[in-house]
Structure 1
Amino acid sequence: MKKQSLIIALLAAAGFMGTSAFAADGTVNITGELTAVTCSVHGGTPGATTGDVDVTLPPIPAAKLDVAGKTAGSTGYKIYVGATGETGCADGTHASVHYEASSPAIDSVTGNLKNNTPVATGGADLVQVQISDASATPTAPINLFTNTNSTPVVVSGNTAELPFTAQYISTGAAKVGTVDTAVQYSVVLN
């Protein structure tokens, strides 16, 4: 009996000590909402069959991106929400875009997109791609790592257009090569 009591006492003490090793330093409070609004998402052109958007930046001489922070090659694109007669995409709904911070190409320091083409296989060096919210006044770069949502646009006629730009941004004296990157997004409706 003494042996059993000793084992129980040791297990209880170990359990108590184990919980102190996991003491919390804070709390992350998470809220959300699921809505009944359903709008289709069309990438690049109204009525496109997917939400994917292809953006081709123009060829730019590397010399134009000779110091960190210089930008060039700004190219616009749009994400379309809803369609004429799509009654589930109700007029008056606010639509915005949330770029997913978990996208692998996002640089958590700059908030821009890293080049996915390695320098060893012909990728440009010391250059990233910056996304800007063209609905904002003035057009504002989006930190893709810490962003909230783009400027909301109101659905009218069961449709909405969300405009953005993509451009090169140097992280130093850019080196010649190709640029290829991508980011995932979700459309937020409320």
Structure 2
Amino acid sequence: MKKFAKVSLAASVAGVTLFGAVSAFAASSAILITGKVEDAICNIQATGNASGNSLVLPTVFKTQLNTAGATAGATGFQFALSGCPATGSVSAYFESSNVDPATGNLLNRAVAGTAAENVQVQVLNADGEVIDLNTNTNNVPVALDASGNASLSYSAQYVAQGAAAGAGDVDTALVYTVRYQ
């Protein structure tokens, strides 16, 4: 690109010198930006096995995660939504930060030396289907009731990733925002 720019500049200077003033035309374009401003924001409360902003998975034995893909410790949690717009549907949109791009699971961010090896955390929808956190595949919206309330049910579980799990700590974070449809 720089080489082309230098050649173009040299050609323009030569053209002006040899032939007088040269007109230049630039292509124009536009970016269409759209959005929406909602009339209300939902009140969100983590309920079920989640306390405040924490969900503690049960302690499991590494023998339960002794092969790649084995899962254990599924623990349900809900988001109780109130004060939302009274029409449409809602879901928790899971951000792809802290997510393995290859698996769509949450990465184990426990301190090196204490972390359980080959362990990630999967998030599942109310039907027990794994949600790919890179794309939100299988993250099904729930209809809001006439009062603007809804309950979003999920669960989280350990998964052995790539090989049998090693003993240790698991520490991760699930980042989400509420999405209206």
Structure of greater Rg: 2
Give the deviation of 1:155 after TM superposition: 1.4
Q: Deviations over 1:9-38 (max 9, x none)?
A: 51649xxxxxxxxxxxxxxx9976314242
In the alignment, does 2:51 pair up with 1:59? Answer: no
Give distance in 1, aligned partners of 2:140 and 2:180: 12
TM-score, normalised with respect to structure 2? 0.74
C-alpha spacing 1:42/1:10, structure 2 compared with 1 (3 Å) = same
Aligned partner of 1:181 in structure 2 is 172
C-alpha distance 41-10 of structure 1, shift in aligned 2 (>3 A): same
**Structure 1 pair 116/91, CA: closer, same or farther in 2 (3 Å)?**
same
Identify which of 36, 41, 45 aligns with 1:43.
Answer: 45
Other structure's SS at 1:10 match: helix
Query: TM-score by structure 1 length?
Result: 0.71
Distance (whole Å) between structure 2 residues aligned to residue 45 and residue 70 of structure 1:
27
- The answer (yes or no) to whether the contact 2:81–2:150 under 8 Å persists in 1 is yes
Aligned twin of 1:16: none
2:101–2:134 CA contact under 8 A, matched in 1: yes
Consecutive unaligned residues of structure 2, counting only runs of 5 or more, are 1-6, 14-30
Q: CA–CA distance in 1 between the matches of 2:131 and 2:171?
A: 19
Alpha-carbon displacement from aligned partner over 1:91-148 (angstroms, at most 9, x marks no partner): 23311111112x1x2100010011101341x1111100000111xxx42101111225
For 2:4, the equivalent position in structure 1 comes to: none
Gaps of 5+ in 1: 1-6, 14-28, 47-51
Contact (CA 8 Å) 1:69, 1:169: kept in 2 or not? yes
Asked if structure 1 preserves the Cα contact closer than 8 Å seen for 2:129 and 2:138, the reply is no
Identity %, equivalent residues: 32
